[in-house]
A and B are shown apart, each in its own frame.
Chain A
Amino acid sequence: MTQDRHGRYRFLAGAILPALALYAVFVLSPYAQAFYLSLTDWTGVSGQVNFVGLDNFTRLFGDPLFLAALRNNGLMLLVVPVVTIALGLLLAVLVTFGGRRGSAIRGASTYQTAYFFPQLLSLPIIALLWQFVYHPNDGLLNGLLRGIGLDGLARTWLGDPHLALWAVMAVLVWSSVGFYMVLFAAAMGSIPAELIEAATLDGAGRLTTLWRIVLPLLRDTVQVAFVYLGVLALDGFAVVQVMTVGPGGPDNATEVMGLGLYRNAFTFSKFGYAAAMGVTLFFLTLTLAVLAMRAGRRERVELA
């Protein structure tokens, strides 16, 4: 018996330890180093490191660039997840229940594939494509506006501090909405047909069914989507770095924390300070995830 149990533990340990070791080396140790470096003035090339305590963190909150980044990431956090989820839900509902008598519309999978496409492109490529779209003189967007006679609406999208961040957010939404549509549509597909039928028999209209039956059953999926999109909104580095003026401009209108971190590390050679930004971002993301999970904690409906 004891022998047997030992054997089993040995087997389990053999299965788990290599993975744990990889995780410790490639995930935990960089984290630990980042925490340590955030308390130093490491320049990135020197072996010499001075411990500076919380000095980097004190500086952070007097750094106008970092405060601008906080503000911009905050706005993105308010806008990107809500808009993406709303659009994703709308498209998922249209595809799944938009057909006759509440069935899936014809060619549903074609739509899903088409909307999913942006997910297959890497973010820098998306950012580059959108930079062409936003080109003030030869861009698709201004070309379209001028083509339909709305010349007055044509703008220098990425050159105007009031519009640039919105232009960035539009790209983030565009690039992720397809994925969440597919996710929501899959979750909707797994709602038992009897539930919908029962509601219809009870005289519920399409909107009522949607509002009272479908959406409540999607709560968990939406919650997870919110966490992921929140993390995306706190990042935004790739799109901002490739697409915007400066990058991060004009005049820091699109500055995000990730960009500040990158610039401080690789342009200004202040790795310690950059690590402090990373640590701050880590705790912000963690707080967001915890809050989002707590806020949505409710009684769960068990199906089937």
Chain B
Amino acid sequence: MNPSSQLRRYPTRRAVLGAAVAGAALPVLGGCVTGGEDDTAEAASGAKTAENPLGVPDKTPLEVVIFKGGYGDEYAVNAESLYKQRYPGATVDHKGIQKVGEALQPRFVADTPPDVVDNTGAGRLDLATLVGAGKLSDLADLLDAPSLDDPAKKVRDTLLPGVVDDGTFDNKVQTLNFTYTVWGLWYSKPLFDKHGWTFPTTWDAMLALCEQIKKAGVAPWTYQGKYPEYLNDPLLAMAAKAGGPDLVKAVDNLEPNAWKQPGLVDAASAIAELAGKGYILSGSEALSHTEAQAAWSQSQVAIIPCGSWLEAEQKGITPDGFDMVMAPAPALSSGDKLPQTALQGASSESFIVPAKAKNPRGGLEFLRILFSTTAAKRFAELNSTMPSVAGALEGLTLSSGLGSVKTAVDAAGPNTFTYRFRTWYAPLAKAVDDATGELATRRITPAQWSDRVQKAADAVATDTAVKKYQR
């Protein structure tokens, strides 16, 4: 008896052998993962007509990959059936999947990508990397094509403000985002009415209201502590209102001491004050987004920061008559450079047409159909979410949450802003998230917060291996 004597040298020998063979096979096998750069695929195209301005080949199949997350993929199937009506000779291969990145990464490497991809969700491919590697088509042809609803209007002119900018990398539009997300603070209108609370427009009023809410035995704020980025949104929104577009630009352009601008330090101090006065539900720092949002839906908490997807996400557990409403973050002071109604808004649900697609014209045409009022309206109905197509919500009966989002977007008008550093420099985004998590638990001070984030931003700025963007 000695079963383990057999095992004794086994792992070592295997490993050593492995290493030896690895060394020998290195040059041969090394080529496998990264090969296949130089084959130039012959992209199909058809004749350009008024009916078919993009020159879509009728007989060529179209492969569509959709991120099947919170919005499902029914809206895409709907757009695909419209595509088939226009091009009866084409077959459409639809894939609704969750881990877009894992499924498509090898196909991008091998240059056999699908024709159009909804590159969204936690497992998406890094857009900046795709752009850097030249894997995406320029969408200029699509933007300049006549829109489906009104041939006199270009597709470019049917989109909400900022959407074209959001998709622009290196002066080329390489992605088009289908949904328009705004971030704000959410509350239940009936709960506020019941207690006679009004949602504040200034930070001082917010602190006063929190005191009242606390006295009523409700926790004033919670946040999705497991993912501190949710708390970044009100913080960065208040900073942007205080410092105006220049503050946002300085941050995104990695300017020296950008994170030490007074607007950012003041906003960080505001969040720290919230925590310091005990206005945040205890234990929030360890709650996942579902847990924190559930506590809010059960009216244990009055206010939660979130993007406009919240209503759709809470569909199953929102009690009847909860009537959630979103409001823009309050103003830090009367000296703010943007009005209080200014809104952090950005388009998301990023659609791309890979450069090496077999049917890129078809991919562009699919997007022209998807971004038409008909298809966008269908999406809004299915998901109570605002598409990035202007006027897509007109004439629809809106739920409480989506209605408040539309009101906020209308009130903000041209005053919308968005930070780009999250997409441009993912490591910086992580540093900001970590720091904000520490700030909200008061383990660091607002000054330490801005020091830490500045250090991380400087590290990105000086790293020659990171591709830099400017706005």
Is B a genuine binding partner of A?
Answer: yes
Q: Which residues of A contact B (CB under 8 A)?
A: 24, 27-29, 31-33, 35-37, 40-49, 131, 134-137, 156-159, 161, 187, 190, 220-221, 223-224, 227, 244-247, 249-252, 263, 266-269, 286, 289-290, 293, 300, 302-304
| A interface footprint on B26-45 (CB within 8 Å = 1, 0 otherwise) | 10011011111100000000
Q: Smallest distance from the beta carbon of A224 to chain B beta carbons, Å? A: 5
In the complex formed, the residue of B with least CB distance to A221 is B4
Asked if A267 and B285 sit within 8 Å, CB to CB, the answer is: no
Instruction: Considering the complex, give the chain B residue whose CB is closest to the CB of A255.
Output: B434
- Max chain A C-beta neighbours (<10 A), residue from B225, B227, B283: B283
Complex alpha-carbon distance, A28 and B283, angstroms: 46
How far apart are the CA atoms of A250 and B105 in the complex, in Å?
A: 30
Residue of B11, B37, B102 near A227 (CB, 8 A) is B11
Please state if A29 and B282 are interface contacts (CB–CB under 8 Å). Answer: no
List 18 A-B residue pairs with CB atoms under 8 Å apart, sorted by A's residue number.
A27-B18, A32-B22, A37-B33, A37-B34, A44-B109, A45-B133, A46-B34, A47-B109, A47-B111, A135-B287, A136-B286, A156-B283, A220-B4, A220-B5, A249-B434, A267-B126, A269-B128, A303-B1
> Contact at B283–A137, with CB atoms within 8 Å?
yes
Contact A250 B285, beta carbon cutoff 8 Å: yes
CB distance from A14 to the nearest CB of B (A): 21
Which residues of chain A come closer than 8 Å to B15, judged between CB atoms? 286, 289
Known: A46-B132, A136-B287, A302-B2. 8 other contacts (CB 8 A): A32-B29, A44-B105, A45-B129, A47-B36, A156-B286, A224-B4, A249-B434, A269-B128
CA distance in complex: A274, B287 (Å): 29
Interface check B205, CB cutoff 8 A: no
Q: A220-B2, A220-B4 are in contact. Are A32 and B21 (CB under 8 A)?
A: yes
370-405 of chain B: CB within 8 A of chain A: none
User: Smallest CB-CB separation from B465: which chain A residue?
Assistant: A41
Chain A residues positioned under 8 Å from B47 (CB to CB): none
Given A45-B125, A159-B225, A251-B443, decide whether A31 and B433 contact each other with a Cβ distance below 8 A. Answer: no
Q: How far is B132's CA from A268's CA once the two chains are assembled, in angstroms?
A: 13
With A48-B37, A290-B12 as known contacts, state yes or no: A246 contacts B434, CB within 8 Å.
yes
B7 near A224: Cβ-Cβ < 8 Å: yes
Q: How far is the CA of A248 from the CA of B441 in the complex (A)?
A: 17
Q: Mark B99-135, 1 if CB is under 8 A from A, else 0.
A: 0011001001101000000000001011011101111
A293, B134: Cα distance in complex, Å? 49
Beta-carbon contact of B12 and A42 below 8 Å: no
Query: Which residues of the other chain, B, contact A245 by a CB distance below 8 angstroms?
Result: 225-226, 228, 285-286, 437
Q: Give the interface SS of chain B, mostly helix, strand, loop or mixed.
A: helix
Q: Does B245 contact A (CB under 8 A)?
A: no
Q: Are B465 and A43 in contact (CB under 8 A)?
A: no
- Write out the residue numbers on chain A whose beta carbons fall within 8 Å of the beta carbon of B1: 190, 303-304
Once A158-B286, A159-B286, A289-B15 are accepted as A-B contacts, the answer to whether A47 and B34 lie under 8 Å apart by CB is yes
CB pair A251 B26 closer than 8 Å = no
**Which residues from B are CB-within-8-Å of A31?**
18-19, 22
Q: Does B25 contact A (CB under 8 A)?
A: yes
Q: Known contacts A47-B37, A252-B434; decide if A156 and B4 are in contact (CB<8 Å).
A: no
Interface size class of B (residues with CB under 8 A): 35 or more
| B5 neighbours in A (Cβ, 8 Å) | 220, 300
- The answer to whether the Cβ of B194 comes within 8 Å of any Cβ in the partner chain is no
Q: Which residues of B contact A32 (CB under 8 A)?
A: 21-23, 25-26, 29-30
| B11 CB, min distance to chain A CBs, angstroms | 5
User: Which residue of B is nearest A304, CB measured?
Assistant: B1
Which residue of chain A has the shortest Cβ distance to B123 in the bound complex? Answer: A266
Is B9 located at the chain interface by the 8 A CB criterion?
yes
| B41 CB to nearest chain A CB (Å) | 13
Q: Which 7 residue pairs across A and B have the least CB separation, nearest first?
A: A136-B283, A159-B286, A46-B133, A47-B37, A220-B4, A269-B129, A36-B30
Distance of A45 Cα from B19 Cα, bound (Å): 26
| A250/B465 in contact, CB under 8 A | no
- In the assembly, what is the distance between CA of A286 and CA of B101, in Å? 31
Taking a contact as CB atoms closer than 8 A, the residue among B36, B102, B282, B443 that contacts A136 in the complex is: B282
B8 within 8 A of A: yes
User: What's the Cα separation between A273 and B287 when bound, in Å?
Assistant: 31
Judge if B288 is at the interface, Cβ distance under 8 Å.
yes
Q: Which of A29, A48, A290 contacts B133, CB < 8 Å? A: A48
Query: Across the two chains, which residue of chain B brings its CB closest to A167?
Result: B286
| B26 to A: closest C-beta gap in Å | 5
Report the Cα distance A301→B441, complex, angstroms: 57
Could you say which residues of chain A place their CB within 8 Å of the CB of B101?
266
Chain B 265-307 near chain A by CB (<8 Å), digits 1 or 0: 0000000000000000111011110010001000000000000
Contact status B225-A47, CB under 8 Å = no
Q: A43-B132, A156-B283, A161-B443 are in contact. Are A249 and B34 (CB under 8 A)?
A: no
CB atoms of A46 and B135 under 8 A apart? yes
Whole-angstrom distance between the alpha carbons of A227 and B10 in the complex? 12
Q: How far is the CA of A40 from the CA of B33 in the complex (A)?
A: 12
Contact of B34 among A28, A49, A246, A302 (CB under 8 A): A49
**B73 CB contacts on chain A under 8 angstroms:** none
Indicate the member of A190, A244, A250 with the most B CB atoms within 10 Å: A250
Report the Cα distance A46→B134, complex, angstroms: 8
Tell yes or no: B438 within 8 A of A by CB.
Answer: yes
